[in-house]
Amino acid sequence: MAARRNKTGISYDEVDYAIDRLTVGMQKTQGTSSIKNKRLTAYHEAGKAVMALVTPDFDTVSKVTIIPRSNGQGGFTLLTPSDELLESGMYTKSYLLNQLAVTLGGRVCEEIKYGVEDVTTAGSGDMQQVRSISRRMVGQWGFSVTEQGAEIGIVGWESDGAGRYDAITRSDATALDIDLEVMAVCDDAYARAKAALTKHFRLVDMLVEKLLEQETLNAKELLALLEAYDPQLSKALNKQPRRLGHGALRHLAPHGTPITSDVTSQGEALCVWSGQIGRASCRERV
């Protein structure tokens, strides 16, 4: 790409372009012809981006775009976890609950803007991701949000290969308890996303207008928008832009199976790759 652009060296722009092309496909040069669909995509992506922006101690939003991709995605939101999180390889219960709320941001934003009856299937991949992570939280990592869920115990009742490669180690009754607690975890994430987005919907509208105008915003532009919306909130959150090459990246895409749907044995539910492009932490390897 650097050669095509008649450059003598590879800059950050070429690295950014290559990462996007490998993980979410090529850009469609003609874009989205329908203004209605473009605005819908903007609200979906803005919901996730704003949720990440206003959630304390959560990943940096490195990029949000509504440029359609060759694999059918209408846009995506790119998050960058902190170096400390990546080095430890351990994710807290509160961090995972925040991730669920952020992931549901697109679906919730559609409901607020267009109403429950006009929500689209754009969030199907996000909902699969939420189900996958919440199931592991309850069935493998001993996390719960209700008193009934706490009775399940701090036991790794399930494994990824149970029923196929490994023995099933929990009873049908325990499986039902896990199902109910997973629903409670998801309901909690939905409620927190709806409360936050309802409170900050003016910021969502501001981001949507920017996306319709320039299609892609980077971390600095997003943080500037947050400061323009509420300087005190921006100062309290104290979020800093981080370049895509620093640490791991996580895509939240609206269509199809999410890139980050896999979870490693260390509970790494969040990263597409870390540091080196060749070391992927999910099934969609670079």
The set of catalytic residues is 45
| Amino acid found at 73 | Q
Do residues 212 and 38 lie in contact, with contact meaning Cβ atoms separated by under 8 Å?
yes
List the structure tokens of 63.
């990029």
- Render 87-103 in DSSP notation, one character per residue: HH----HHHHHHHHHHH
Compute, in degrees rounded to 10, the torsion defined by CA atoms 31, 33, 35, 37: -80
Do residues 85 and 99 lie in contact, with contact meaning Cβ atoms separated by under 8 Å?
no
Classify residue 17 as exposed, middle or buried by CB count within 10 Å of its CB (0-12, 13-18, 19+).
middle
Beta-ladder partners of 76:
65
Distances (CA, A) of 48 to 63, 105, 165, 214: 11, 4, 35, 18
| Amino acid found at 3 | A
